[in-house]
């Protein structure tokens, strides 16, 4: 038997007394709980812009917050859209359902997702304004459950004066608000919003990287549209949505005389641009719908009214497409000319120059392009002459390297700011 000096024996016993009764060979300290974001997105499936928000923001989350679990709460989807999202983002859980202002869902799967979430991200759009009821229940549900809310890449086109104080108080509860145009930022400041983080932040659709090369190439080949030998033109008319049950200011069920006059003004300018383009370049034009309702109007308001020598150079896209196929087509265009902003965003994301022919009627979101440094490609279709659009378009065609450098510069601005936003979201998550 080993005999230790009394001092050493007492020291050994003291040390043994301080050890745990069972010491594992390896530390089994609890791993930090994985953070979870619940993202609300997918506003419509009849609009490739509303489809495109979702994969764009998911890509930024995947890139900059790879250790965060993301659950996607889709507002609307189709089998085709869901399949696209699952293929590109296999780790993202998808839920659907309804939520009330107390944070109670209408099905167990969605309730579990909401309860699990450490942060609620409301994806890009323009839902907080006076044109339709804003989703206040989201703010209230996050308040009741003490869940931080981030409004991501939103436009705020103004509330009724009598509602501004109330909306200011509600929006101030958000942990962060990112406005996709600077005009919205100034408006929120003006009405007194005091969110801890209130700043410019680009639309999530800029992050889009989904593609459907096979379908795109087959369709282009069938219509004799060769890579970098055509432009696309996108119409936005004052007409109702297909199957719409109610009228909205931007999609009037019964267009007024003023609405019809605006339609004629817009399409006359688009026809002039197309005619000049075809006659001066002998290159083709694809009438590309951002919203499915515009397919028929592009045919009747534009293609059918073009000069006979121009018509053979113009193709109307029919049937409607998913955003992945549209992105693959836009990547092969010389330029995308669009009255709708999200075809422009998708074009920039795939590296294609773009011109946004915007009407002030369609809201503050048009200023996105000015705010990322593309003022020269942002035009007012109500006031600017058609030959101004043509000159800018011909310059893009004549100097593709210069146009490409402008696209790259704008996307550098977008991606740098988007990375910063994701860093701020991580900081909010880490505080939970």
User: Which of these, 283, 309, 316, 303, lies nearest to 396 by C-alpha position?
Assistant: 283
Question: Among 266, 215, 261, which residue's Cα sits nearest to residue 389?
Answer: 266
Same domain, 43 and 190: yes
DSSP conformation class of 361:
G
Strand 69-74 vs strand 36-41: parallel, antiparallel, or unpaired? parallel
Residue 102 lies inside a defined structural domain of this protein? yes
- For residue 145, the model assigns a pLDDT of 98
Please give the Cα distance from 66 to 88 (Å, whole number): 14
The CA distance from 224 to 219, in Å, is 9
Domain shared by 363 and 224, yes or no: yes
d(CA 219, CA 222): 5
pLDDT number for residue 24: 46
Backbone dihedral angles phi then psi of residue 194, each to the nearest 5 degrees: -125, 35
Cα 264 to Cα 55: distance, rounded to the nearest angstrom: 35
Domain around 418: 36-207+414-430
Residue in the block written with tokens 């200023």: 367
Q: Residue 419 and residue 432: Cα distance in Å, rounded?
A: 21
One domain, residues 168 and 238 = no
In terms of DSSP H, where are the helices of 117-212? 136-144, 164-171, 182-190
Residues 340 and 217 in one domain: yes
Low-confidence ranges of the chain (pLDDT < 70): 1-30, 244-245, 247
Same domain, 239 and 170: no
Residues 6+ apart with CB under 8 A from 336: 231, 232, 234, 288, 330, 343, 344, 346, 347, 352, 353, 354, 355
For 143, half-sphere exposure in the C-beta direction (CA atoms, 13 angstrom radius) is 13
Beta bridge partners of 72: 39, 94
Indicate whether 29 belongs to any domain.
Answer: no
Q: Which two tokens stand for residue 108?
A: 């167990």
What CATH number is attached to the domain comprising 59? 3.40.50.11720
Which tokens hold the place of 220? 């282009």
The answer to whether the predicted template modeling score (pTM) of the entire model surpasses 0.95 is no
Q: Tokens for 31, please give them.
A: 């791993």
Q: Are residues 157 and 219 in the same domain?
A: no
Question: Could you count the other beta carbons within 10 Å of the beta carbon of residue 27?
Answer: 6
Q: Which residues in 102-249 belong to E strands, given as ranges?
A: 119-122, 149-154, 176-179, 198-200, 230-234
Residues 6+ apart with CB under 8 A from 42: 50, 51, 53, 54, 72, 74, 75, 76, 77, 81
Do 384 and 426 belong together in one domain?
no
The 8 Å CB, 24+ separation contacts for 355-358 are: 355/379, 355/389, 355/392, 355/393, 355/396, 357/269, 357/270, 357/381, 357/389
Phi, psi of 249 (to 5 degrees): -60, -30
Does residue 271 sit within a domain? yes
Residues 84 and 192 in one domain: yes
237 lies in a domain?
A: yes
Element (H, E) at 380: strand 378-380
**Residues 6 or more apart whose Cβ sits within 8 Å of residue 208:** 52, 55, 56, 59, 323, 327, 345, 346, 349
Residues 235 and 303 grouped into a single domain: yes
Whether 190 and 323 map to the same domain: the answer is no
The answer to whether position 25 is within a domain reads: no
What are the CA-CA distances from residue 409 to residues 10, 155, 353 (Å)?
72, 23, 11
Residue 355's H or E segment, with its range, is strand 354-358
Phi-psi region of 97 (alpha: psi -120 to 50; beta: other; left: phi over 0): left
23 inside domain: no
Domain presence at residue 6? no
Q: Please, are residues 91 and 65 in contact by the beta-carbon 8 Å criterion?
A: no
| 167 and 219 within one domain | no
**Is residue 152 domain-shared with residue 278, that is, in the same domain?**
no
* pLDDT confidence of residue 112: 98
| Number of domains present in the structure of the chain | 2
Does 306 map to a domain? yes
CATH number of 322's domain: 3.40.50.2000
Which two three-digit tokens encode residue 262? 């605006």
Q: How many residues does the chain have?
A: 432
C-alpha distances in Å from residue 420, one per residue of 301, 365, 412:
43, 21, 12
């Amino acid at each position: 038997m080993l005999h230790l000096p009394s001092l050493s024996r007492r020291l050994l016993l003291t040390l043994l007394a301080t050890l745990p009764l069972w010491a594992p060979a390896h530390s089994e300290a609890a791993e930090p709980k994985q953070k979870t974001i619940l993202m609300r997105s997918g506003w419509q499936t009849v609009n490739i812009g509303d489809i495109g928000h979702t994969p764009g923001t998911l890509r930024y989350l995947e890139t900059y917050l790879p250790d965060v679990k993301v659950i996607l709460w889709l507002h609307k989807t189709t089998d085709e859209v869901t399949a696209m999202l699952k293929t590109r983002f296999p780790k993202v859980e998808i839920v659907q359902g309804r939520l009330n202002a107390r944070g109670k869902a209408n099905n167990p799967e969605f309730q579990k997702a909401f309860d699990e979430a450490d942060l609620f991200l409301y994806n890009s759009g323009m839902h907080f304004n006076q044109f339709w009821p804003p989703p206040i229940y989201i703010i209230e549900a996050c308040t009741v459950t003490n869940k931080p809310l981030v409004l991501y890449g939103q436009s705020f086109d103004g509330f009724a004066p009598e509602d501004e104080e109330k909306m200011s108080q509600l929006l101030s509860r958000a942990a962060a608000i990112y406005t996709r145009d600077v005009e919205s930022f100034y408006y929120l400041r003006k009405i007194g919003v005091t969110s801890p983080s209130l700043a410019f932040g680009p639309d999530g659709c800029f992050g889009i990287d989904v593609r459907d090369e096979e379908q795109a190439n087959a369709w282009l080949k069938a219509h004799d549209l060769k890579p970098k030998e055509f432009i696309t033109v996108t119409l936005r008319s004052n007409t109702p949505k297909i199957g719409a049950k109610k009228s909205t200011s931007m999609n009037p069920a019964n267009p007024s005389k003023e609405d019809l006059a605006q339609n004629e003004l817009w399409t006359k300018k688009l026809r002039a641009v197309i005619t000049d383009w075809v006659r001066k370049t002998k290159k083709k034009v694809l009438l590309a719908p951002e919203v499915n309702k515009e397919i028929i109007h592009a045919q009747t308001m534009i293609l059918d009214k073009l000069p006979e020598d121009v018509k053979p150079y113009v193709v109307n896209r029919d049937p409607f497409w998913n955003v992945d196929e549209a992105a693959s087509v836009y990547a092969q265009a010389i330029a995308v000319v669009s009255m709708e902003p999200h075809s422009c965003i998708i074009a920039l994301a795939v590296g294609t120059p773009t011109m946004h022919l915007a009407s002030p009627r369609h809201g503050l979101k048009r200023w996105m392009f000015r705010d990322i440094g593309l003022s020269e490609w942002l035009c007012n279709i109500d006031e600017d002459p058609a030959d101004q659009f043509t000159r800018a378009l011909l310059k893009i065609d004549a100097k593709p390297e210069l146009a490409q450098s402008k696209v790259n510069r704008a996307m550098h601005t977008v991606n740098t700011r988007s990375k910063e936003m994701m860093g701020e979201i991580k900081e909010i998550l880490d505080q939970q």
